[in-house]
Amino acid sequence: MCVNALPREKAGTTMNMDQIRELVWSGAINVQINVKQSLLLNEVSHKESLVNVRIPRDTYLVLYLPAIVSHLRNSLKIDPNGNDGGTYWFEFEDVPLFWNYPLGVLYDSMLALNPPGRVSRDTENSINVWKIELAYGSNPPAGVIPLINGIDQIKSYWMHQWKQSCYILNGSAKQVMSLSMQDSQQFWGSILNRDRTNFGRISSKIIPKRPKFIPIILHQTLPDIKRIQLSATECKDDGSLQTVADLAKIQFPEFFQDNQVLMKAVSNGIEVPLHSNVFELYQRLMSFDGFLHVCICLVSNDEYGEA
């Protein structure tokens, strides 16, 4: 399977936590980056205007930007050493991609991914490729955070995401602030070097056994794309466990009608059961920024007929 994600059948009781984390960590997407025509030098062949790269789901797309630009340096009009105040960004079918969400989340939400549909398109002789575009200009579209300080900016953004999730989990950002210099360097290093051991070791210092709240971002995918940040408790007021369905019902009551559920919860490219407890899901499927990202996707007509 090309768009690597958790195999649905295996995610049940037979797998332990570590195996699941390993699958989440190594999930990846084949991405083809095409340069916008206006940025290309004349006489550049089609082949020279694109880059194929396999990028982990659980990282920022922009971390690959320097490599992508360097690969295309002979085809681009843009002077790599120039200082015209411009910034790069990515688009999918003319919709800008916000680099500040994990790549896998962008993929799932931009495609309003319905996992069975993707699997049925996979064949032995073809691979799934996500085709996106590279754009450049001094005025990036609304919502795109301009990249003005390279990798330091990305690191700082990521650290603040962790401080925020730490605040939600623990009630203060103390656990992140009091990481030793070595730990915080290794923490960021674990993202750059895809080092799951260090990532797990340091993130476990931040995530408590009994969290106050659980940091979750719901991504509405249709009829428009919208992100809703939530702080969910592990248990409801009546003491029962809080489930994904409980949260979704509050935000999208329209998708829950009588006995029919019209939506699916998708995280890391797989459909997760709506009755999963939010903290259990967080421990298994949380992203590298300390949040659990869940895309709200819709049940297709065919599936609805079967049910």
Partner 1 sequence: MSGILESESDNDDSLQSSTVSSVSDSLRQQQQLHQEQQQQQSSSSGTPRNATTGNLVQSRLEHYSRRLSMLGLDSSQEVVAPDANSKIEPTNVIESDDSYEPTQDVPISASLQLHQLPQVTNRAIEKIEKQASGTTKSQEKVQIRFQPIGSISQINPSVCKITATQPFSLVVQFLKKRIKVDEVFCYINNSFAPNPQLIVGNLWSHFKVGDELIVSYCGTTAFG
Give the binding site for partner 1 (CB under 8 A). Answer: 92-96, 98, 100, 110-112, 114, 142-143, 145, 156-157, 159-161, 163-164, 167-168, 172-173, 177, 213, 221-231, 252, 254-255, 257, 260, 262, 298-302, 304-305
Nearer to partner 1, 158 or 199 (CB): 158
Choice between 82 and 223, CB closer to partner 1? 223
Question: Least distance from C-beta 222 to partner 1, angstroms?
Answer: 6
Q: Nearer Cβ to partner 1, position 36 or 226?
A: 226
The CA–CA distances, whole Å, from 114 to 82, 215, 267, 297 equal: 43, 24, 11, 7
280/302 with CB nearer partner 1: 302
Q: How far is the CB of 64 from partner 1 (least distance, A)?
A: 20
Q: Is the dihedral of CA 117, 106, 188, 2 positive or negative?
A: positive
Of 25 and 291, nearer to partner 1 (C-beta) is 291
To partner 1, the closest distance from the beta carbon of 70 in angstroms equals: 28
Between 48 and 183, name the residue whose CB sits nearer to partner 1. Answer: 183
Give the three-state DSSP class for 153.
Answer: helix
Contact 167, 214 (CB under 8 A): no
Q: For residue 76, what are the β-bridge partners?
A: 40
Residue reference for tokens 């699916």: 264
Q: Are 196 and 189 in contact (CB under 8 A)?
A: no
According to DSSP, the β-strands at 87-92 and 95-97 are antiparallel
Shortest approach of partner 1 to residue 90 CB, angstroms?
12
Residues in Cβ contact with 262 at an 8 Å cutoff, skipping those fewer than 6 apart: 254, 255, 256, 298, 299, 304
CB of 304 to partner 1, least distance (A): 4
Which CB atom, from 25 or from 213, has the smaller least distance to partner 1?
213
Of residues 52 and 178, the one with the C-beta less far from partner 1: 178
DSSP letter at 40 equals B
C-beta of 289: minimal distance to partner 1 in Å? 10
Interacting residues of 186 by C-beta distance below 8 A, sequence separation 6+: 195, 198, 202
Question: Do residues 221 and 109 make contact, with C-beta atoms less than 8 angstroms apart?
Answer: yes
- The residue among 226 and 236 lying less far from partner 1, judged by its C-beta, is 226
The residue type of 126 is S
Residue linked to tokens 């919208």: 226
Residues 6+ apart with CB under 8 A from 197: 190
> Nearest distance from residue 71's CB to partner 1, in Å?
25
Q: Are 65 and 35 in contact (CB under 8 A)?
A: no
Distances (CA, A) of 260 to 66, 253, 304: 47, 12, 9
> What's the closest the beta carbon of residue 40 comes to partner 1, in angstroms?
23
State the nearest-atom distance from the C-beta of 43 to partner 1, in Å: 30
